[in-house]
Amino acid sequence: MPAFAKRMEYMAGSADIIRGLFGAMNDPETISFGGGAPASDALPVEQLREIANDVLTRGSRGVEALQYGPVQGVKQLRDIVAEKLLAPKGVPATADDILIVNGGLETMNLLCQVFINPGDVILCESPTFVHCVEIFEMFEAKCVGCKTDDFGIVPEDVEEKIRELHPKMVYVIPTFQNPTGKTLPADRRQKLAELGSKYDVIILEDDPYRDLRYSGEELKPIKSYDKTGHTVLANSFSKIFSPGSRLGYVYADHAIIDKLIDAKSATNSHTSMLPQILCAEFFVRGYFDEHLKKLCAVHKERRDAMMAALEKNMPEGTKWVFPDGGLFTWVELPGGIDTTELLKESAAYKVAYIAGAGFFVGNTGEGKNCMRISYGNVTPEKIEIGMKRLGDLIKSKL
């Protein structure tokens, strides 16, 4: 067989991690705090059935839904992104500068196509979303982690590393971060946008969780502070509409969007039409606001159940993040427990989580005593049972 491309070697490590992290959680008796899915119970099945029934007729949008569509995405959906999702957050956008993509992650792929040469540096949070590291490494980027504290990435460290390493891009998940659940304060958001402008670096803001807020005050996106077009705003409909629909969008400076459209054309022509139309109609029919309220109520109950369960079941000395929204908390165990090792025994306790070490780039040894805990797709009842199991497992090691 001909040799695989060099990039496949480069990404092999992170691809292994991804497969290890997300595979093998299929035992139905296991309560899994792995994954990253929102509540299945809250998916808008009934509304989409009604909409599909209406649009899939020849008199309505049946042909549009099944025939080839525009590379950039359905105009109606791009208008909705601009008017309903971006304008209220202080980001004035027009449909022309928005590209619809096949799930939020596709933006990272396309942006790498457009900007990343092999060897380019991308700065990330420490820890960061490992699936994106897999993407960056497929493009042979050198990922370097930046310091984080209780409030997320530390801008001073970002600036220092920009000066030292001349990165092409800084990748940040500012709100209810994956994997930690932390949220970056306004002053740091502004500072990051300014660093992008000052040093001519792309700030890639990945913000899929922001609308799932259960407490605290809403914060403007980094993009709202951007005066030079250096910030690129990636977002997704996965958490607020449906993950399986694979719908996301990117808003960027026109020159960047033009190139992203070329890359999209040369990746898969365009995003599937029926999901785009179903999503647009979901907004047009006024279902979104009510649905978002429901989503927040369902997930808030789970967040609260998780916080109570941590308090009740974790041994003394355990620390965890109180997330104001999103799907994750980050748990730091006492007593030198290695969560990767511990995972091997978790099957016997019928509980699963994701070990922390995999979320740090470059095998730094950080996060060995940490775990990402997702409460999004676990009912409060199962959170109580599952966290008792996890607590018992951890205590058995102390």
Contact set for a copy of itself, span 232-261 (CB under 8 A): 238, 242-247, 253, 255-256, 259
The least distance separating a copy of itself from the CB of residue 182, rounded to whole angstroms, comes to 23
204 part of the interface to a copy of itself, by CB under 8 A: no
* Total chain residues near a copy of itself (CB under 8 A): 81
Nearest residue (CB) to a copy of itself, 195 versus 337 = 195
The least distance separating a copy of itself from the CB of residue 51, rounded to whole angstroms, comes to 9
267 part of the interface to a copy of itself, by CB under 8 A: yes
Rounded to a whole number of angstroms, the distance between the first and last alpha carbons of the chain is: 50
Which of 21, 31, 43, 122 contacts a copy of itself by CB under 8 A?
43
266 part of the interface to a copy of itself, by CB under 8 A: yes
Q: Report the half-sphere exposure of 346 (CA within 13 A, side-chain side).
A: 27
192 part of the interface to a copy of itself, by CB under 8 A: no
The least distance separating a copy of itself from the CB of residue 118, rounded to whole angstroms, comes to 8
Q: HEC states along the chain? A: CCCCCHHHHHHHHHHHHHHHHHCCCCCCCCEECCCCCCCHHHCCHHHHHHHHHHHCCCCCCHHHHHCCCCCCCCHHHHHHHHHHHHHHHCCCCCHHHEEEECCCHHHHHHHHHHHCCCCCEEEEECCCCHHHHHHHHHCCCEEEEECEECCEECHHHHHHHHHHHCCCEEEECCCCCCCCCCCCCHHHHHHHHHHHHHHCCEEEEECCCCCCECCCCCCCCHHHHCCCCCEEEEEECCCCCCCCCCCEEEECCHHHHHHHHHHHHHHHCCCCHHHHHHHHHHHHCCHHHHHHHHHHHHHHHHHHHHHHHHHHHCCCCCEECCCCECCEEEEECCCCCCHHHHHHHHHHHCEECEEHHHHCCCCCCCCCCEEEEECCCCCHHHHHHHHHHHHHHHHCCC
198 part of the interface to a copy of itself, by CB under 8 A: no
Nearest residue (CB) to a copy of itself, 109 versus 318 = 109
Segment contacting a copy of itself by CB under 8 A, of 50-58, 174-182, 297-305, 343-351: 50-58
194 part of the interface to a copy of itself, by CB under 8 A: no
| CB-count exposure of residue 321 (10 Å: 0-12, 13-18, 19+) | buried
The least distance separating a copy of itself from the CB of residue 49, rounded to whole angstroms, comes to 4
Residues 275-334 that bind a copy of itself (CB under 8 A): 275, 278
Polymer length in residues for the chain? 398
Which of 81, 143, 202, 222 contacts a copy of itself by CB under 8 A?
202
The least distance separating a copy of itself from the CB of residue 314, rounded to whole angstroms, comes to 28
44 part of the interface to a copy of itself, by CB under 8 A: yes
- C-alpha torsion 214→220→223→224, nearest 10: 160
Which of 186, 263, 292, 308 contacts a copy of itself by CB under 8 A?
263
Residues 56-95 that bind a copy of itself (CB under 8 A): 56-58, 62-69
25 part of the interface to a copy of itself, by CB under 8 A: no
Nearest residue (CB) to a copy of itself, 19 versus 312 = 19
Binding mask 97-116 for a copy of itself (x = CB under 8 A): ----xxx-xx--x--xxxxx
155 part of the interface to a copy of itself, by CB under 8 A: no
Alpha-carbon dihedral sign for residues 269, 275, 278, 280: negative
343 part of the interface to a copy of itself, by CB under 8 A: no
Nearest residue (CB) to a copy of itself, 382 versus 397 = 382
Which of 24, 27, 45, 347 contacts a copy of itself by CB under 8 A?
45
Segment contacting a copy of itself by CB under 8 A, of 129-137, 317-325, 335-343, 356-364: 129-137
Cα 162 → chain centroid: 24
270 part of the interface to a copy of itself, by CB under 8 A: yes
Segment contacting a copy of itself by CB under 8 A, of 218-226, 270-278, 286-294, 341-349: 270-278
